[in-house]
Amino acid sequence: MTIAIYRKYRPKRLEDLLGQEHIVEILKNAARHDKLAHAYLFYGPRGTGKTTAARLIAKIANCETRQTEAVFRQKGEPCNKCSRCLEIDAGKALDVIEIDAASNRGIDEIRNLKEGIKLSPTSYKYKVFIIDEAHQLTKEAFNALLKTLEEPPAHAILILATTEYEKVPPTITSRTQQFHFKKLAIEEIVKKLKRIVGEEKLRVADDALELIAAAAEGSLRDAESLLDQLTSLEENIELKSVEKIIGKVGFIRTAELADLILNSNLTGALDYLTKIDEMGYNLTDLNKELIHYIRRALSLSIDPRLETLFKKELTARELEQLKKHGALINPNKHIKLLKSLIRAYGEMRYSPFAVVPLEIAIIENLQQ
């Protein structure tokens, strides 16, 4: 069976963890000085490296090379060559226990964890428990976990991972070291996808990679999974292939529609919208992308310093296009346009005639 791309290219070292430099530096320093904590809470959007980081801590804590070679220990990384590192990578380590709280959320499972954590590791230095989707645990399960987090055995490390930090009780968070995983910038995702494409000898157009990265909304795993899906369907991946699969209009088409609207070309905008509709694209998503595009152009026209922030969300070519449109912005006029588009978006989500609210919003704001 073919290994999924996101599994095949999962980071094997902390420094390979994209977009989380602040976390990487802290964990590497802790590893160098043998000061790994006994309880961590990793939180942030899906696909940003939380579970991967947890497995890396499990490797660092148990790596044989680190335990025998003081010089190597100063790297703050696992060796990825010893039997323990290889077993953890393969998911065969008996002393690294992963629990999916989404399906094991009750008090009985946590009681089993409490009993299991008391037992010494079978062959490793540390027993590592990784609780994924920790926010799914019941109130009773959290209460049962409290004592273990407060006084864990010396041989145990607990790592909780969640996408919904606010659902984890303060009594739990206060007993852990907390790390916030950020969404990845488009350019970071594109860079990783290009490396995968090169190593796998795939043929994927650059603008197709950019749309894959944008569609992933900051999740590297989602981007890798989408790339995997596309390359299993077609040998040469072009922009239109990605648009067809995800039903989303790419940046170029959104920018073209925005250009017509910002230049008050009503006839051109309606014709363009009709063509997009006939091609079968999701018009609700198109309006969502249009709102984001004009919002960025408006913000950039008011505060050019936001260019630094937008560099994380857009490619260099996209940013140049956005800056040109920012010069066309009339705040009073286009704030009204944005409000109309947002209202249309709410109506489109429940209308059998999705194109109509968007057309009306454009006509209302462009008609002289």
pLDDT tens digit sequence for 138-188:
888 888 888 888 888 899 999 999 999 999 999 999 999 999 999 998 889
240, 326 in Cβ contact below 8 A? no
Which pLDDT score is estimated for 216? Answer: 87
Tell whether pTM > 0.85: no
Enclosing H/E stretch for 128: strand 127-132
Cα separation, 13 vs 66, whole angstroms: 13
Please name the residue that has the structure tokens 């650059």: 206
Distance, in Å, from the CA atom of 277 to the CA atom of 25, rounded to the nearest integer, reads 48
Instruction: Tell me: pLDDT of 243 over 60.
Output: yes
Q: Is the pLDDT of residue 3 over 90?
A: no
State the pLDDT at residue 1. 54
Helix boundaries (H) for the chain = 5-8, 21-32, 50-62, 64-68, 70-73, 83-89, 107-118, 139-150, 170-173, 186-200, 206-215, 220-233, 239-246, 251-262, 266-278, 283-302, 307-310, 316-326, 331-348, 355-366
> What region does 92 belong to: left with phi over 0, alpha with psi -120 to 50, or beta?
alpha
Query: What is the sign of the dihedral through the CA atoms of 281, 285, 288 and 293?
Result: negative
Mean pLDDT, residues 236-244 taken together: 82
Query: Which residues, in sequence order, are CB contacts of 133 under 8 Å at separation 6+?
Result: 100, 101, 102, 161, 162, 163
**Which residues share a beta bridge with 237?**
204
Average pLDDT in the 225-252 region?
A: 81
Residue type at position 44: G
pLDDT value for 353: 86
Residue 93 confidence class, pLDDT cut points 50, 70, 90: very high
Across the chain, what does the average pLDDT equal? Answer: 90
How many CB atoms within 10 Å of residue 311?
15
| 363 — pLDDT class (breaks 50, 70, 90) | very high
pLDDT category at 266 given cuts 50, 70, 90 is very high
- For residue 168, CA distances in Å to 52, 176, 177, 278, 299 come to 20, 11, 13, 46, 34
- Minimum mean pLDDT among 68-77, 112-121, 197-206, 355-364: which range? 112-121
Domains defined for the chain, CATH in brackets: 5-180 (3.40.50.300), 186-246 (1.10.8.60), 251-366 (1.20.272.10)
Tell me the HSE value of 290 on the side-chain side, using a 13 A CA sphere. 32
pLDDT for the residue 247: 65
Number of other residues whose CB lies within 10 A of the CB of residue 9:
18
